[in-house]
């Protein structure tokens, strides 16, 4: 006995599974970006709730604090926007070309989704946190900082973040490579 033909809705669900997963990742990354934005602009100050050291002052202070701003901007671009744009590639293959990810290409897409998002989020969050600590350490003692020199900041704070950030960037790059390989293999597959 054969299975009844799939409805157009069922076919679209099958064809768009990876696009939906990457869009969900973009939404989650967007939520993290909103939380980071709230912490950076420090609205708690208006309710007389002080953070340990104002993140906006870290960014304005420059120096090691630029790590925080750079991590934040890169997270918005790579974590949120790139995840959403990647969904379009998967939609094109699955939804437009009708080529479903199965077998090896399915595993490559999972690697792409997990490694790219873990690597991006991990590296950018570490960069933001390291920059926050560096900005706090470099701020004048009179404003709540430690008054460290750039050399002290690098030795005591930023140098500890370089290797983990570099490793996580490689994880994200590996995810992108796996996704690209899966894209090429899926695109060449016969319908």
Are 71 and 124 within 8 A, CB to CB? yes
pLDDT for residue 42 is more than 90:
no
What's the rounded mean pLDDT across residues 137-149? 89
pLDDT at 30: 82
Are 119 and 174 within 8 A, CB to CB? yes
pLDDT at 188: 87
**CA dist 62 → 69, 156, 157, 172, 187 (Å):** 9, 17, 15, 27, 46
Q: Could you report the per-residue pLDDT of 45-96, keeping only the tens digit for each? A: 555 555 555 665 666 566 777 888 888 888 888 888 888 889 888 988 888 8
pLDDT at 185: 93
| Reported confidence tier of residue 109, pLDDT bands at 50, 70, 90 | very high
Which of 1-5, 101-105, 168-172 has the lowest average pLDDT? 1-5
What's the rounded mean pLDDT across residues 96-117? 93
- Phi/psi region, residue 51 (left: phi>0; alpha: psi -120 to 50; beta: rest), is beta
**CA dist 129 → 111, 136, 184 (Å):** 26, 11, 37
* 138-145 LR contacts (CB < 8 Å, sep 24+): 138/61, 138/63, 138/64, 138/65, 139/53, 139/57, 139/58, 139/61, 143/57, 144/53, 145/53
pTM listed for this prediction: 0.73
Are 57 and 135 within 8 A, CB to CB? yes
pLDDT at 114: 97
pLDDT for residue 178 is more than 90:
yes
pLDDT at 64: 78
């Amino acid at each position: 006995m054969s299975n009844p033909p799939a409805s157009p809705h069922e076919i679209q669900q099958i064809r768009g599974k990876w696009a939906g997963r990457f869009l969900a990742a973009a939404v989650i990354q967007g939520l993290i970006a909103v939380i980071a934005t709230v912490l950076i602009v420090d609205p708690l100050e208006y309710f007389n709730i002080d953070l340990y050291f104002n993140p906006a002052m870290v960014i304005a202070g420059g120096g090691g604090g630029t790590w925080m701003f750079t991590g934040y901007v890169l997270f918005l671009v790579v974590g949120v926007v790139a995840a959403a744009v990647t969904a379009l590639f998967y939609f094109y293959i699955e939804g437009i070309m009708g080529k479903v990810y199965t077998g090896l290409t399915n595993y490559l897409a999972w690697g792409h989704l997990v490694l790219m998002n873990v690597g991006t989020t991990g590296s950018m969050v570490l960069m933001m946190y390291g920059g926050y600590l560096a900005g706090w350490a470099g701020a004048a003692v009179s404003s709540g900082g430690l008054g460290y020199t750039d050399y002290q900041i690098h030795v005591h704070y930023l140098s500890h973040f370089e290797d983990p950030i570099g490793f996580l960037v490689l994880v994200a790059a590996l995810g992108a490579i796996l996704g690209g390989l899966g894209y090429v293999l899926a695109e060449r597959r016969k319908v």
